[in-house]
Amino acid sequence: MNKSQNFMNWNNPGIALITGASSGIGASYARLLSAQGFETILVARRKERLEDLARELEHNTSNKAAVVVADLSKLEDINSVTEKIKGLNNIDVLVNNAGFGTRGYLENLPLNAIKEMMFVHNIAPVFFSRAVLPGMIKQNRGVIINVSSMRAFMARPQDVMYGSTKNFLNRFSEILQLELHDTKVKIQAVCPGYTRTEIFNGKYLKDFDVSSIPEEMWMSVDEVVELSLNACQNKEVVFIPGDANQKFIELYTNPKLGKRTRENMTKMKIIPRK
Ligand SMILES: NC(=O)c1ccc[n+]([C@@H]2O[C@H](COP(=O)([O-])OP(=O)(O)OC[C@H]3O[C@@H](n4cnc5c(N)ncnc54)[C@H](OP(=O)(O)O)[C@@H]3O)[C@@H](O)[C@H]2O)c1
């Protein structure tokens, strides 16, 4: 793919800033966007992982890759990344991807997990979007991808923080896109289903039995990211990658036909209250 053949068919692709680029879905966005001619800025906590990826990208694509070590569960780090973004005038793509899982009843979840999740899933994406928008509006081009989840659609016990912070991202994206109706700036809330990554080893996601998920329900990070980027020229803001996932959410959210599915899913694998 040469420099004008990127997912938006832009001339002279600028910078793509990706949070949570040290593994999984974020690393895949970084690889694809770098291969499409974008300079990348890779944000996460694990410095070594980011530096390895930056070296790999620069070696494979000759496009610059910079590393920003930041803990997005901390307001001071969110502020410092926000300031960095404000100092750059050619961010074409912002991928708010950093995230982690929690599982459990609200009263049993550690307060830190709750606070960290709201900062990483919500405060950081809102602050970073606000910081890139003046440049994007001025250039009349840009894409903000908020990595949400299929769980944004589902009301399930023990998913109270993950489901509701992802639900926020969907609504935030929809309203933000409405605000940008007179520009060519595109907002996408991408809602993956089960995707093979390290997220299931997370410290707040104990007891999650990955083997209980049938093989056919899994997607790879590259499938998710390719579908997400390809859908950025479509009108829809909330995008579910994968036909099976789309059909499932269509059924789940259907007021009549989805009633049984919704009821069954609220009863699945409930861990007893402590
Ligand atoms: N995998 C799935 O099945 C699935 C499904 C739906 C949605 N998602 C969403 O996809 C996104 C990416 O997750 P993944 O599945 O690719 O998992 P992953 O491999 O664990 O990646 C998560 C990324 O987020 C970063 N991150 C987490 N906490 C952070 C913090 N406090 N500050 C900065 N960066 C932080 C991690 O980097 P460091 O640890 O280096 O900081 C890592 O790069 C998440 O938003 C997740 O909710 C995943």
Per residue in 213-233, pLDDT (tens digit) is 999 999 999 999 999 999 999
The DSSP secondary-structure symbol of 270 reads P
| pLDDT greater than 50 at residue 165 | yes
Pocket test for ligand 1, best of 23, 43, 79, 239 (most atoms within 8 A of CB): 23
73 found inside a domain: yes
Pocket test for ligand 1, best of 17, 42, 45 (most atoms within 8 A of CB): 45
User: Nearest 5 degrees, angle CA 195-CA 201-CA 205?
Assistant: 95
Whole-angstrom Cα distance, residue 78 to residue 83?
9
Average pLDDT (144-167) is 97
Amino acid 60 reads N
Which candidate, 31, 25, 10, 36, places its Cα nearest to that of 225?
Answer: 25
253 found inside a domain: no
Q: Whose CA is nearest to atom 28 of ligand 1?
A: 99
Q: How many domains does the chain have?
A: 1
Contact residues of ligand 1, CB 6 A cut-off: 20-26, 44-46, 49, 70-73, 97-100, 120, 147, 149, 192, 194-195, 197-199
Sign of the Cα pseudo-torsion (232, 236, 237, 239, in order): negative
Whole-angstrom Cα distance, residue 33 to residue 40?
8
Average pLDDT (131-160) is 97
Catalytic residue annotation: 162
111 found inside a domain: yes
Tokens of residue 68, six digits: 């920003």
| pLDDT greater than 50 at residue 3 | no
117 found inside a domain: yes
Neighbours of 85 (CB within 10 A): 23
Task: Report the CATH number at residue 223.
Answer: 3.40.50.720
pTM: 0.97
- In order, the DSSP letters of 80-119 are HHHHHHHT-S-EEEEEE-------S-GGGS-HHHHHHHHI
User: What percentage of the chain reaches a pLDDT higher than 70?
Assistant: 96
Cα–ligand 1 centroid distance for 255 (angstroms): 32
Atom of ligand 1 nearest to the CA of 121: 45
Give residue 55's domain range.
15-245
| pLDDT greater than 80 at residue 272 | no
Whole-angstrom Cα distance, residue 91 to residue 60?
21
Q: Whose CA is nearest to atom 19 of ligand 1?
A: 24
251 found inside a domain: no
Pairing mode, strands 65-69 and 91-96: unpaired
Residue 207 banded pLDDT, cuts 50, 70, 90: confident
Atom of ligand 1 nearest to the CA of 195: 3
Average pLDDT (85-102) is 97
Cα–ligand 1 centroid distance for 71 (angstroms): 12
Cα–ligand 1 centroid distance for 99 (angstroms): 4
Cα–ligand 1 centroid distance for 100 (angstroms): 5
Tokens of residue 162, six digits: 């993950």
172 found inside a domain: yes
Cα–ligand 1 centroid distance for 202 (angstroms): 9
- Strand ranges inside the chain, DSSP E: 15-19, 39-44, 65-69, 91-96, 142-147, 185-190, 238-239
Q: Identify the pLDDT of residue 269.
A: 62
Cα–ligand 1 centroid distance for 76 (angstroms): 20
250 found inside a domain: no
pLDDT (tens digit per residue) in 8-17: 999 999 999 9
Pocket test for ligand 1, best of 22, 95, 209 (most atoms within 8 A of CB): 22
173 found inside a domain: yes
